[in-house]
Amino acid sequence: MIAGMYYTIKGLKKIVGGKIAQNILSKIAKERFFYTEKVFSPDTQDTITRLVILLPGKGCWWAKQKGGGCTMCGFAEKLKEIRSYQYSAQDLVILCKIALELCEESPVEIAIFNGGSFLNDNEIPLKAQEKIASLAARLPIQTLYVESRPEFVTTDKIRKLVGILKEKKLKVGIGLEAVTDVIRERNINKGFTLKEYERAVEALLSKNAEVLTYVFLKPVKVSERKAIQEAVKTIRYAFKKGSKEVALEAALVQEGTVMAKLFHQGKYRPPWLWSVIEVIKRTYKLGFVHVGNFDDEPSPIAIPFNCHRCTPKVLSALQAYRETHSLESLKYLRCSCKTKWKKEVFQKQKARLLI
């Protein structure tokens, strides 16, 4: 079925063009499975195009465990849809080929997201991992980016993928989220230790792969002030341990999560956009800190916000930061709601604001 779709899409592209073919495919699938985005690259020191491919793997291993699943992640609900069709290794490779066929831009980086761990053979079959790496090796790109929990990062696996990619770079994202054990274990329910994270980072660096660490801003039952402090502390730690990049992920509320339950009870609010900017300013000189997009799959029901007057403007400024990694767009943001934010964040202690 998937193999036949590939040749159908190739023919459709010739008739109606790539953009229309992509729209038709998205309507058939009822959701997009790839897109391009503009991001700033620390390697080129310029804005690049990144092709993002959303692969339907077998679902996050941790989300399937009894008592598992992160408190903010809505992927457990998504698993119900995924289980309705099991994709083979060949299917997953062909989906990547379809995305490449329809992409009308020239990406510098390809990012594979599968809502779990790409390096887990039970989520993405080993044969698919290797064939996707082989496909990337033949493309005029610089980097293949994938995500994984630290448990599935082994020196043998990384050695093999780096070898297949040849001169292309392998970059692996690991969701550390928080350096403080109690926050990572209880508030987020991440399910791994700092030692496991450090071992995975060492394994990646030893085979000349790059590391990106995800840092989460505002877990459940953590105050705005503490959330800022924890994010800054975690970013500092990640760079110290060898991360080349950090992705600051501000909380998004997704249905079917602990976070959503508290949100509906009025016991949780996504972070202020001012808090996102505060973390950026405090960590800007530590290394390359990227700000994650405020959308995801499943679609969030609430995202970081300020007041209704300034939120659109601040969101635009953050998008400019994503594309340029320049603080210029964040310098002159002003709104009366910042006073309310300051009181919430700094009412219990005196601190020097950076914004």
Q: Are residues 92 and 11 in the same domain?
A: no
What's the mean per-residue pLDDT of the chain? Answer: 90
pLDDT of amino acid 28: 44
Q: Does 126 map to a domain?
A: yes
Whether 6 and 122 map to the same domain: the answer is no
In a domain, 125, yes or no: yes
Look at residue 81 and tell me if it is in a domain: yes
Question: Is 15 in the same domain as 58?
Answer: no
Asked whether residue 108 is assigned to any structural domain, the reply reads: yes
Q: Per-residue pLDDT averaged across 187-197, rounded?
A: 98
Q: Is 2's pLDDT higher than 80?
A: no
Alpha-carbon span 65 to 69, nearest angstrom:
7
Q: What would the mean pLDDT of 336-351 be, rounded to a whole number?
A: 83
pLDDT given for residue 84 in this prediction: 56
pLDDT for the residue numbered 202: 99
Least confident of 5-14, 169-178, 304-313: 5-14
265 compared with 74, residue with greater pLDDT: 265
Q: With CA atoms as reference, report the closest residue to 76 among 67, 57, 63.
A: 63
Q: Establish if 351 belongs to a structural domain.
A: no
Q: Is 85 in the same domain as 18?
A: no
Give tens-digit pLDDT for 283-295: 999 999 999 999 8
Type and span of the H or E element at 283: helix 273-283
Say what the pLDDT of residue 10 is: 52
Report how far residue 58's alpha carbon sits from residue 79's, in angstroms, rounded to the nearest whole number: 8
Give yes or no: residues 92 and 12 share one domain: no
Are 59 and 139 a contacting pair, CB within 8 Å? no
Tell which phi-psi region holds residue 287, choosing left (phi > 0), alpha (psi between -120 and 50) or beta: left
Q: How far apart are the first and last CA of the chain?
A: 54
User: What whole-number percentage of the chain has pLDDT above 70?
Assistant: 86
Cα distances (angstroms) measured from residue 122 to each of 126, 146, 285: 8, 15, 39
Give CA 164 to chain center in angstroms.
Answer: 24
CATH number at residue 204: 3.20.20.70
Same domain membership, residue 119 and residue 260:
yes
Residue 353's pLDDT is 44
User: 104 and 205, same structural domain?
Assistant: yes
> Among 44-53, 69-78, 81-90, 165-174, which stretch is predicted with the lowest mean pLDDT?
81-90
What is the domain range of residue 124? 31-346
The answer to the question of residue 352 being in a domain is no
- Per the model's pLDDT, the better-predicted residue between 157 and 9 turns out to be 157
Identify which of 291, 205, 209, 285 has the alpha carbon closest to the alpha carbon of residue 247: 291
What pLDDT does residue 297 have?
79
Q: What is the DSSP string of 306-319?
A: --TTTHHHHHHHHH
Q: Are 216 and 231 in contact (CB under 8 A)?
A: yes
pLDDT band of 308, cuts 50, 70, 90: very high
Are 20 and 76 part of one and the same domain?
no
- Which value, to the nearest 10 degrees, does the dihedral of the CA atoms of residues 163, 165, 166, 170 take? -90
- Distance separating alpha carbons of residues 259 and 11, to the nearest angstrom: 44
- Res 138: pLDDT: 97
pTM, entire model = 0.90
Q: Which residue has the higher pLDDT, 9 or 160?
A: 160
CB neighbour class for 138 (10 Å; exposed up to 12, middle 13-18, buried from 19):
exposed
Same domain, 16 and 123: no
Beta carbons of 214 and 171 less than 8 angstroms apart: no
The pLDDT value given to residue 79: 61
Within this chain, do residues 21 and 35 fall inside the same structural domain, yes or no?
no
Adjacent-strand bridge partners of 51? 36, 110
SS (H, E, C) 230-245: HHHHHHHHHHHHCCCE
Average pLDDT over residues 240-248: 99
Predicted confidence at residue 145, as pLDDT, reads: 99
Residue 355 resides in a domain? no
Judgement on whether residues 13 and 129 belong to the same structural domain of the protein: no
For residue 32, what pLDDT is reported? 72
> Per DSSP, what are the bridge partners of residue 38?
49
Number of H helices, E strands in the chain: 15, 8
Q: What is the total count of domains within the chain?
A: 2
Q: Please state whether 207 falls in left (phi above 0), alpha (psi between -120 and 50) or beta.
A: alpha
With respect to residue 116, please indicate whether it lies within any of the assigned structural domains.
Answer: yes
**In terms of domains, do 128 and 227 share one?**
yes
108-122: per-residue pLDDT in tens?
999 999 999 999 999
For residues 252-275, average pLDDT: 98
* pLDDT at position 37: 95
Does 83 score more than 80 pLDDT?
no
